[in-house]
Amino acid sequence: MTNDLERRVFEHREGKTPSFAAHYHCNRLVCFERYVSAGSAIAREKQLKGWRRAKKLSLIERENPTWIDLSEGWGKSFVKENAGPSTPLRTAQDDIELCKT
C-alpha cells in the first residue's frame, strides 16, 4: 500500500527498500488497484496476501493478460538528469488514464 505508486515502483527498482520485491528482483508492475481511503487499501492488501498464488495469478491474468509492465518509463521524474530538455516526462497518472481507455 502506498500513496505514491510511481515513487514506490522507483524505490523497488533501485533496491532502496528491503522487501519481497528487492529480495526476488521483481521489477515489473503488472497489476494495481486504487482506493479512496487508506483503510480500504490496507484491507484489500490483507485480503490479497491471504490468497493462494493461483488466485493472485488469475487476478493478474484477468486484468493484464499479457503481463505488460504498467510502469514502463516511470521514475524519470525522480532521475531528471536522464531526461533531455525536450523529453516529456511520463507520470503514473498518465499511465492510469491510458489504462482506462
The predicted-structure confidence for 50-100, as pLDDT tens digits, reads as follows 999 999 999 999 999 999 999 987 766 555 444 444 434 444 444 444 444
pLDDT on residue 76: 61
Return the closest-CA partner of residue 82 out of 27, 22, 10: 10
Residue 47, pLDDT above cutoff 90: yes
Burial class for 29, CB neighbours closer than 10 Å (0-12, 13-18, 19+):
buried
- At 9, list the grid cell: 515502483
pTM of the predicted model over 0.75: no
Cβ–Cβ under 8 Å, residues 1 and 42: yes
pLDDT of amino acid 95: 45
